[in-house]
Chain A
Amino acid sequence: MGKYIFKRVISGLVTIVILITCCFFLMHAVPGSPFSKGEQGVPPEVMQRLNEKYGLDLPLHEQYIRYMSNILHGDLGISYKNTTVQVNDLVGRGFPVSARIGALAVVVSLLIGVALGIVSAVKRGSLFDGIAMVTATIGVCVPLFVISVLLLYLFAGVLKWLPTYGLSTWRHYILPVTCLSFSPIAYIARMTRSSMLEVMQQDYIRTARAKGVSEFFVICKHGLRNAILPVVTYLGTLIANLLTGSFIVERLFAIPGLGKYFVDSITARDYNIIMGVTIFLGIFVVTCNLIVDVAYGIIDPRVKMDE
């Protein structure tokens, strides 16, 4: 187990180094300096001084080494558009907001999605199953922004039950979390249902029943633990997606999260922020996947983690 984790950490680090390198050279392949402001431009001598100050006049490989060593020290650099802003601070401010909403959405998706999937599988062919699965199919197909606008219009606009923007009270969380969870719930429900249907046909389920295990424990112990495996695999992607913030939801509900900063920096062509945020997200995704894989190995003893 320790050996497996060690291996995975190493391969994760390699992935991240490759990611940083790609980001760095792509950014430098973009023509112009971050300080060339459109057609008007900065006076040449000012530009010269700025380039010197931020090391942009150095040969590319030296800049690369500098950047790498900064990142090793946990420094993602500064915003070139507003040089008083540290990328670290930006991530430090935006990520907790995004992560809080995202984590809530992950928990909500899992609880509701898995529960819907189990009930649909157990009551296969019933009215409940039919309604749940039609809804789930719609949920998987309809894009996030359509659902978000619809819910916002209905619950905040027409019914006026819920606030439209900000995050000051718990009621502010309801709409964004619901929007974010909508399609994961649908996806998890469908996945749980089909895997549950397959698992319930297995011989070991019959063995459990023959032992006298009650139907509740047959489903929730012997069945669910097996049926949940594909959901666990999907969890890595889900956590990474939801916790890093959704641009659409953060824009719509005016939430100061990472997703909003990220897209703002892209429209402003603030390359250092783009890179910083990309690298942070990369590390986060790699870590999520590692944790999920280890969790999978704990749930399923057949996964040989020492090989």
Chain B
Amino acid sequence: MRLLEIENLRTTFDIHVGSVQAVRGIDLHVDEGETVGIVGESGCGKSVSMLSLLHLLPDYARVTADKIAFGGTDLTKMDAKAMRRLSGDQIGMIFQDPMTSLNPLFTVGSQLIEPLRIHKKIGEKEAAQIVLDKLRLVEIPDPESRMKQYPHELSGGMRQRIMIAMAIMCDPRLIIADEPTTALDVTIQAQILDLIASLQKKLGTAVIMITHDLGVIAGMCQRVVVMYGGVIVEEGTVREIFYQPRHPYTWGLLRSIPQKSGEKKKLVPISGSPPDLIAPPPGCPFAARCPYAMNICNSAMPPMRPVSDTHSARCYLMDEGAPDVKWEGIRA
């Protein structure tokens, strides 16, 4: 069952120096209970595309889409007010930085109880009981006393658990986790990822996992969407992306995963920097950094080409007659 379906989502920020074309027409779908990863370097439009969906961008952002459907409802016709009824209830959002995402002046308990008081018509006592249940679910020790504490009294990992509890408070159908571990200590990162993965299994909720690290995806996602310069350059199942990647950018991402298996850690960063989004190149956004770029890559945006039912990529190397460049694995 389709839960979320997005077609041709575009987001532009009108600022004084020009229009930042942060998202340039992305298609995305998520099935009920499915975990989809979105990967890409920072600045490629991952957060903006999700925030566009939830109407969480500032008013100088222009969002258009041919279709946004969530559980059968058309979201393109919804205004911010109508969207508020969905978000926090059917869609839970986990943000990147737990240190700044909680209001410093309210107790954790009062912030946790808010979505319940807004979306479910239940009393204070019943709501408090649900909050305690959720806190236990995210493995927070001594939840009763945690509820009375203020965010600054908790560690980063603990705060992110609070954010997760908040996101699942109303038993949403979709959880969007925007780089939930980027701001945390390395030691805590794995714990939080494990927690999200185990919650996903327990609750059967669909998850969109945003990250700039393919390593995170491998462990918990069924499908992967690779974004670059505001567009999707490749998407497929985890197997397809890891074993038969077709886009040179995906190759670069795979090579930049730290390899722990060998004697030495081998990490190959992609050289160059992402395109200017105010005046994006007319062709493939990755062309300037791509070692295999041809003339056509600079002049016209390659279309999304299917490889299989689930796998497609946006690259001229897939054309007949193009130079024979093949993915030779991480070690190559």
Q: CB-CB < 8 A to A203: which residues of B?
A: 95, 97, 100-101
Q: Determine whether the beta carbon of A211 is less than 8 Å from that of B87.
A: yes
The answer to the question of B226 belonging to the interface, with a C-beta cut-off of 8 Å to chain A, is no
Q: Determine whether the beta carbon of A211 is less than 8 Å from that of B100.
A: no
Complex Cα gap A204–B162 (Å): 13
Q: Determine whether the beta carbon of B87 is less than 8 Å from that of A204.
A: no
Could you mark each residue 144-176 of chain B with 1 if its beta carbon is under 8 Å from any beta carbon of chain A, else 0? 000000101000000000010010000000000
Segment of B22-30, B68-76, B114-122 engaged in the interface with chain A: B114-122
Q: Determine whether the beta carbon of A213 is less than 8 Å from that of B84.
A: yes
Q: CB-CB < 8 A to A204: which residues of B?
A: 100-104
Q: A206-B95, A212-B88 are in contact. Are A222 and B56 (CB under 8 A)?
A: no
Residue of chain B at shortest CB distance from A202: B100
Query: Which of B86, B102, B114 gathers the greatest number of chain A CB atoms within 10 Å?
Result: B114
The answer to the question of B326 belonging to the interface, with a C-beta cut-off of 8 Å to chain A, is no
Complex Cα gap A214–B102 (Å): 17
Q: CB-CB < 8 A to A207: which residues of B?
A: 93, 95, 101-103, 163, 166
The answer to the question of B234 belonging to the interface, with a C-beta cut-off of 8 Å to chain A, is no
- Sort chain B's interface into a size bin: 20 to 34
Q: CB-CB < 8 A to A212: which residues of B?
A: 84-89, 115, 118-119
The answer to the question of A210 belonging to the interface, with a C-beta cut-off of 8 Å to chain B, is yes
Q: Which of A27-53 contact B (CB under 8 A)?
A: none
Segment of A184-192, A262-270, A296-304 engaged in the interface with chain B: A296-304
Distance between B276 CB and nearest chain A CB, rounded to angstroms: 24
Distance between A220 CB and nearest chain B CB, rounded to angstroms: 13
Could you mark each residue 190-212 of chain A with 1 if its beta carbon is under 8 Å from any beta carbon of chain B, else 0? 00000000000011101111111
Could you mark each residue 226-248 of chain A with 1 if its beta carbon is under 8 Å from any beta carbon of chain B, else 0? 10000000000000000000000
The answer to the question of B279 belonging to the interface, with a C-beta cut-off of 8 Å to chain A, is no
The answer to the question of A93 belonging to the interface, with a C-beta cut-off of 8 Å to chain B, is no
Count the A-B residue pairs with Cβ separation under 8 angstroms: how many? 76
Residue of chain B at shortest CB distance from A204: B103
Q: Determine whether the beta carbon of B87 is less than 8 Å from that of A210.
A: yes
Residue of chain B at shortest CB distance from A228: B105
Distance between A167 CB and nearest chain B CB, rounded to angstroms: 40
Distance between A7 CB and nearest chain B CB, rounded to angstroms: 22
Q: Determine whether the beta carbon of B152 is less than 8 Å from that of A302.
A: yes
Q: A202-B100, A301-B152 are in contact. Are A211 and B114 (CB under 8 A)?
A: yes
Distance between A37 CB and nearest chain B CB, rounded to angstroms: 60
Q: CB-CB < 8 A to A209: which residues of B?
A: 54, 56, 84, 87
The answer to the question of A225 belonging to the interface, with a C-beta cut-off of 8 Å to chain B, is yes
Q: Determine whether the beta carbon of B105 is less than 8 Å from that of A225.
A: yes
Could you mark each residue 118-153 of chain B with 1 if its beta carbon is under 8 Å from any beta carbon of chain A, else 0? 110000000000000000000000000000001010
Complex Cα gap A146–B81 (Å): 47
For B103, give its contact among A214, A215, A226, A299 (CB under 8 Å): A226
Complex Cα gap A72–B88 (Å): 60
Residue of chain B at shortest CB distance from A304: B152
Complex Cα gap A210–B102 (Å): 12
Q: Determine whether the beta carbon of A211 is less than 8 Å from that of B88.
A: yes
Q: CB-CB < 8 A to B103: which residues of A?
A: 204, 207-208, 222, 225-226
Distance between B152 CB and nearest chain A CB, rounded to angstroms: 5
Distance between B48 CB and nearest chain A CB, rounded to angstroms: 13
Distance between B315 CB and nearest chain A CB, rounded to angstroms: 35
Q: CB-CB < 8 A to A222: which residues of B?
A: 103, 106
Q: Determine whether the beta carbon of A300 is less than 8 Å from that of B118.
A: no
For A299, give its contact among B95, B105, B163, B166 (CB under 8 Å): B105
Residue of chain B at shortest CB distance from A209: B56
Q: Determine whether the beta carbon of B118 is less than 8 Å from that of A211.
A: yes
Q: CB-CB < 8 A to B81: which residues of A?
A: 214-215
Complex Cα gap A209–B85 (Å): 10
Q: Determine whether the beta carbon of B150 is less than 8 Å from that of A214.
A: no
Chain B residues with CB under 8 Å of chain A are 51, 54, 56, 80-81, 84-89, 93, 95, 97, 100-106, 114-115, 118-119, 150, 152, 163, 166
Chain A residues with CB under 8 Å of chain B are 202-204, 206-215, 222, 225-226, 299-302
6 new A-B contacts, CB < 8 A, other than A203-B100, A207-B93, A212-B87, are: A203-B97, A209-B54, A209-B87, A212-B85, A212-B115, A214-B118
